Structure 1
Amino acid sequence: MKKLWVTVSVFILLFAIGCGKEQNDQTGESGVPDREIVISGKKWTEQYILPHILGKYIESKTDYQVEVKEGLGPTPILTQALKDGDIDIYVDYTGTGLLTVLKGNLKPEDTKETVYERVKTEYKKQYNLVWTQPLGFNNTNAITLRKERATELGVETASDLATISDQLTFGADPPFFEREDGYKSLVKTYGFKFKDTMDLDTNIKYAALNEKKVDVINAFTTDGFLPRFDLKVVKDDQNLFPPYYAAPIVRQETLDQFPELEKTLNELADKIDENTMAKLNARVDIDRESPDKVAEEFLKEAGLIQ
């Protein structure tokens, strides 16, 4: 009996040592995990900037270390990388989460708040992933024209524009004309009857608008060319386009390991509006500044870091 007790005691001691070693492998003497938080994003301008904003803010406000892996890929790849633990955080958009990942539908009564709550609830339930609070901006589809032209025509909303659309030429990138939720939905919802339409590559459609070769183009609400060319985004008064509010998504296991992380990310809630994000995008797209530099200067100018 004594021999059995000694054997059990040794087993318990070895188990405790093993657990302690596993804990020490993850956490340094200060209690701070000794691995980096990995942040990534998609392969376009805004998604190059946002990981650096998150990373620099986290490192400024906590003792955590961050690694930014730029441009990992589109939503399906990033979502899988989160599930697999290859990355810890990336920023996605509420409409993308609902329509692309969850394969849900936008309901007529949906608001930006209800869409956010739906994706937040389902991601936690299905994937154990956490949507933290939105950063503030809505990067959704939009219709835009030159401000002076909008003033001349008395246009504030898409419905206003529809009444005079037979006098105007509309330009858009080819995918917008092909998608069911693009030009076809725009015509169905608002009754647009443009006198002419033009396929325009994304890289030249803003120049075509600025040079008055077209009157109206499609856009995204945080495109960098909007503030640079002084363009007006007309109000989507029939709520055709889903809300695409940007928010960091984090693995629950990461939040458990880094207890200050969720609170820190939520401090960035509502700190970036559409105009601000568009200006940051313009600095990278047009001025050719680095996303890293633009992110750091934004945080300092906003008083978010020293």
Structure 2
Amino acid sequence: MANITLRAITYQYSFKCLFSVLFLTVSCFCTTKAQEEYTKVPKAITAESLGITSKVKSIYKIEYSISTAERTLDDTTHWVDTLLNKNIETTSYFNKLGYLSMKTLDSFDEKGKIEQSRTTRYYHNKDRQILALSHYIDHRFKDSIRVEYDHRHKDRVEELTYYDKKGDVVRYVEFFYRNDRIFNVKLRNPDRSLQNFIRYEYFDNGMLREKEVKGSTMQYMYSVKYEYDSIGDGNIQMNRYDYVGLYKCKQMIGKVFNSDGQMLEKTVTDSTKHVIDYRTLTYNDKGLLATEQVFAGESSSDKEYTYEFDDKGYWRTVKVSDKGTPVSKTHRVIEYRTNEEE
């Protein structure tokens, strides 16, 4: 594996590609968020996939939350200080071919000290596909994933193998295809015994219609069903229904996308069809999020996003205000490759 041992390795999109984005988003087969990650097929990430078409060496980003503190000066003048509280700091490194090779993420506590440092390393094969990923926490090796492709169809992931920090296998994930679509996924234990079985069904146009999850003895666990509808102006309504029983719907998540694949509206209802979350979004002429209005239960927010741009036209600062009050600020520095470095 290109000098790597298994123990050492340890939106902008159009509606035409909405299915692939949707599938990656909902490809879960267990009940916890951690387990939902297991069937996500790792994809090679480029700066272009992040909306940056220029040659890039690295992208540094730091996110702050904004708070205020009141104080009274000696002359009894009342003063309000605006405080920037460091939340998350990330750096993404790209190789000369333009692919993401490493990403670091540091999270901070209220005093600005690092709470946790996480690193992901990405390894690629000669076809520029993800070959493996390795994860580190606080600079210590945590686990890794190996990706195997079908030798007859090199664009198809055939199996994912998960390893722990000792290099031992903790699970396998197998993918089975029909008509160029994944129709079955099997999650297996280290001894290859079945843990979960997932069945997918599609509409004639290729959009996902249903996902059914079964346990190790093929007992029904839960299912997710989808509906799509064109609602004019090129917009598409997508509803997702989560069932905890054959006929008991736990929640519905409805989303409206425009022809560019941007989400314009989201509605979440519970088992009684009571709306627990509703939000609307708008975008600026660069396709960046401009406003987001949220109504969730008794709480609400009305956020506005403003941007500053670098010399190449990519955003370098985004400021977020909620009902006119600043709440966060993100600064980004893109290091571009020179002609000599290409």
Q: Report the TM-score range of the alignment, normalised by the length of the smaller protein.
A: under 0.3
**TM-score, scaled to structure 2:** 0.22
Q: Which structure has the greater CA radius of gyration?
A: 1
Q: Which has the higher contact order (CA 8 A, sep 6+)?
A: 1
**TM-score, scaled to structure 1:** 0.24
More helix by share: 1
